[in-house]
Amino acid sequence: MRSSTRIRLIEPADAVPIAAHRARDREAFRPWEPEQPDGFFTPEGQVERIERLLAGHRAGSVWPGVVLAGDRVVGQVTVGGVLPQPHLRRGSVGYWIAGTAQNQGHAGRAVGLVLDVMADELGLHRVEASTQLENLPSQRVLRRNGFSPYGVAHSSILLDGSWRDALLWERILGDRPHRQDS
């Protein structure tokens, strides 16, 4: 039986489970994310990162959330680069799910839930995302939530010592329904 997926604003107390997931999954995430210092994988490093995210939230530039399976933190979903001005009203979404909770639908449901936050709470009109060209599971999550690819950003991120291209995705939030329920 699948546990329910929820999201909520991140809290400093989430540092312990996040650090445990990130330390355990460090090698698995290496192809998809920039290299991080060793401190990133500690509860103390995560507390510092969470405090920065919450400062951004107070400033209105980010909505940092955790993904919950039942009551367990199993990942993060974050809206960054929030531009709430009337003529822009957009943000960028990123997410990860711990290896122990992958392939259970949590990423798709979390993205659907954060689209609601973006539209209803943040008042955004457009959402963007990017994936590595090889990251087919993440691309499926975005497609199932109504995103469309719109271009390639060449040499956009330094990963594992080489510059990589990214596939760019977009979604207009007024195009409902957008929540993935499966």
Residue 111 pLDDT: 97
Tens-place pLDDT, residues 72-130: 999 999 999 998 788 889 999 999 999 999 999 999 999 999 999 999 999 999 999 99
**Apex CA 30: angle with CA 136 and CA 104, to 5°?**
45
End-to-end CA distance of the chain: 13
Q: Return the structure tokens found at 147.
A: 């995103």
Q: Are 31 and 62 in contact (CB under 8 A)?
A: no
CATH number, residue 102:
3.40.630.30
Residue 59 lies in a domain: yes
Residue 159 pLDDT: 86
Residue 148 lies in a domain: yes
Residue 179 lies in a domain: no
Q: Tell which wins on pLDDT, 2 or 132.
A: 132
Residue 178 lies in a domain: no
Specify whether the backbone of 60 is left (phi greater than 0), alpha (psi in -120 to 50) or beta: left
3-state secondary structure of 162: strand
Residue 142 lies in a domain: yes
Domain holding 117, by residue range, is 5-172
Between strands 126-132 and 162-172, the pairing is antiparallel
Looking at the 3D structure of the chain, how many domains does it have? 1
* Integer Cα distance of 104 and 115 in angstroms: 19
Instruction: pLDDT band for 181, please (50, 70, 90 cuts).
Output: very low
pTM: 0.89
